[in-house]
Structure 1
Amino acid sequence: MSATLIPEAGAPAGVTMRRNFWRGVWRVLLRKPSRMAGVVIIIGFVFMGVFGPMFYPDHLPDDPNAITQPPSWEHWFGTDPQGRDVLALVITGSRYVLLTAAVTALITVVVGTAIGLFSGFKRGRWDTVLMRLTDMKLTIPGLPLLLVLATVWKFGSPLQMGLVLGLLGWGGVARAVRSQTLSLRERGFIEAARGLGLSTRHIIGKELLPSMAPYIAMNMLIAVTGAVYSQVGLFFLGVLPYESDNWGVMLNLAVFQAGAMVTPNALGYLLAPLLAILLLTLGIVLVVDAMDEIFNPRLREE
């Protein structure tokens, strides 16, 4: 029998390890029903963002006979001042919000991780230069910069919005990853790899990065929530041009146009996007809790 096989399983060692890992993930998720609920919530939002807008026209039609109606069986969260179904607006607006959040999280984690890993491993002059750049980045106020950019850039695409938010948000991740790298670089397996003369690229890509993958994955999920809050807040404040089906614009129009704070009929128009944001955040928090136990042996219950 080949040395790469496990006699008991009769399968390659790598396959057996992956199978055991996913079994452990499944056990951790089942240990607390709330964690499975978090997974279902995130999958539901992904499905809504990808497929939900396909069931509606690009521009929802106005209905003068149903202006600012309260919740009913026909319109679960009521209608807006143009007579459009609020739930439909939340669904069609989810794609912009979620795609922006995904792009933001990807850029934040990729840039922050690359700088943090390289800086923490190389130390010396590279570490000094990269960390000074990171410190400069952290001192740049994001909101005033976005106000300036909004005068020349309309952010009509979620990719544009995600790019800007991502480039503004990688500093904290770079600092955190650098701290983790400084701790890991003194471990025995890293010292052994350096003693064997392996390249920096190999050590970072094959040794350090896999060890930090769980930490990076959790940072990506957390970055998603930060991106959702940032873009919704900017649209709510009126800093960015309106997208009629964006959650932040819905909040702005609900408060300042429909008078949701004083008009009971418009309350659903305000609550629907708020509930969507809170539910998405709850799902991410529950999944991060599960990931923390999966990848932190000290938290695993016997």
Structure 2
Amino acid sequence: MRFLKDLWRILRGDKGALIGGIIVLLYCLMALIGPWVVPLSNEQDPANAYAGPSWSHPLGTDALGQGVLSQIIVGSRPIMVVGLLAAIITVFIGVTVGLLTGYIGGWFDTLVMRITDIFLTIPGLPLIIVLAAFIQTTNPVVLAIILSITAWAGLARSIRSQAMSLRSSDFIEAAKLQGVPLRNMIFRQLLPNVGPYVAIHFLLAITGAIYAQVGLFLLGIAPISGTNWGIMINLAMAQGALYTTDSALYLFAPMAAIVILQVAFVFFSRALDSVFNPRLRVQ
């Protein structure tokens, strides 16, 4: 409750962060209930292909005469779901590895950190492309695992450094004397102290996963199934959006949706920074 009160106080004093938070919330609502409120029709109307904005289709239509806005709304769910799942997997692995290695130390720390270093040196994007091309899946969980395959390593190293600085603290020494089990030591004693950094990284992980996922569909590496923003951009470019004005709106609409969401995340993360770091707060 204290966190929420501080966050609301910061948002009220920082209009940019407030607007960013509202936009993020609207995107979440759009992904959650949008496909039910504005379902994508299977009916095609080629005679109405690439029609301009109208009351029935505020963002125009595509090559099949289907509304672009409805595709933006319906396509938000798979993008947001995979982005959220990838962020959860990334943060869970990174935090768990970082806290365990930082607290336990010794040969365990050396072994796990060498493995982590391997993941840090692997070029993430080429590996994601190869795995996505080989697996050819539309399962959101599998896609999320692919996107987080190397993303956790940097977070693990950062969390390890913080855990190493905390393990000699008085409250940790007191917990050791009380015989606190390792699980409670990690997740009840250490985790709350690295929570602020984890929260910020969680937002960054979502944005990174969204960009990477859209890129896979844009390049045609992930199977084209259903509708999402990356598939929309792929189809628009295949239909000549870069060379003609007919399908330009079909191309720029999903691009604008992605940019607006990313900018909103940046502004909202500023509010979280202010909550966790009082010196950054807007006076």
Q: Normalising by structure 1, what TM-score? A: 0.87
Matched, 1:77 2:48: no
Residue segments in structure 1 that go unaligned for 5+ positions in a row: 1-17
On the 8 A contact 1:70/1:264 being kept in 2, the answer is: no
Q: What is the correspondence of 1:74-113 to structure 2 with a 5 Å cutoff?
A: 74-113=56-95
Residue 280 of structure 1 deviates from its aligned partner by 1.0
Residue 89 of structure 1 deviates from its aligned partner by 0.8
Query: Within 2, Cα distance between the matches of 1:73 and 1:246?
Result: 23
Change (3 A) 1:198 1:34: same
Query: Within 2, Cα distance between the matches of 1:269 and 1:201?
Result: 51
**What residue in structure 2 maps to residue 262 of structure 1?**
243
**What residue in structure 1 maps to residue 186 of structure 2?**
204
After superposing the two structures, state which structure 1 stretch, 106-115 or 132-141, moved more.
132-141
Query: Within 2, Cα distance between the matches of 1:150 and 1:265?
Result: 31
Matched, 1:54 2:36: yes
Matched, 1:292 2:266: no
Residue from 194, 199, 222 that aligns with 1:240: 222
Secondary structure of the residue aligned to 2:164 is helix
Residue 158 of structure 1 deviates from its aligned partner by 1.7
- Specify the code of the residue in structure 2 equivalent to 1:226: G
Query: Within 2, Cα distance between the matches of 1:22 and 1:104?
Result: 25
**What residue in structure 2 maps to residue 120 of structure 1?**
102
Residue segments in structure 2 that go unaligned for 5+ positions in a row: none
- Specify the code of the residue in structure 1 equivalent to 2:47: N
Change (3 A) 1:151 1:223: closer
On the 8 A contact 1:53/1:92 being kept in 2, the answer is: yes
Aligned residues: 283
- Specify the code of the residue in structure 1 equivalent to 2:99: L
Change (3 A) 1:56 1:157: farther
The percentage of aligned residue pairs carrying the same residue is 42
Residue 287 of structure 1 deviates from its aligned partner by 1.5
Change (3 A) 1:109 1:66: same
Spell out, residue by residue over 1:9-67, the C-alpha distance to the aligned partner (whole angstroms, 9 max, x if none).
xxxxxxxxx3x443222211101111111111111111111111113556632111111
Query: Within 2, Cα distance between the matches of 1:298 and 1:137?
Result: 35
Query: Within 1, Cα distance between the matches of 2:282 and 2:224?
Result: 49
Q: Which runs of 4+ in 1 moved over 4 A?
A: 56-59
Query: Within 1, Cα distance between the matches of 2:52 and 2:282?
Result: 48
Spell out, residue by residue over 1:173-203, the C-alpha distance to the aligned partner (whole angstroms, 9 max, x if none).
1111112212222333223323444333222
Q: What is the correspondence of 1:263-278 to structure 2 with a 5 Å cutoff?
A: 263-278=244-259
Residue 91 of structure 1 deviates from its aligned partner by 0.8
Query: Within 2, Cα distance between the matches of 1:83 and 1:110?
Result: 43
**What residue in structure 2 maps to residue 131 of structure 1?**
113
**What residue in structure 2 maps to residue 37 of structure 1?**
19
Secondary structure of the residue aligned to 1:265 is coil
Residue 246 of structure 1 deviates from its aligned partner by 1.5
Residue 288 of structure 1 deviates from its aligned partner by 0.8
After superposing the two structures, state which structure 1 stretch, 92-101 or 182-191, moved more.
182-191
**What residue in structure 2 maps to residue 142 of structure 1?**
124
- Which protein has the larger Cα radius of gyration, Structure 1 or Structure 2? 1
Residue 244 of structure 1 deviates from its aligned partner by 4.1
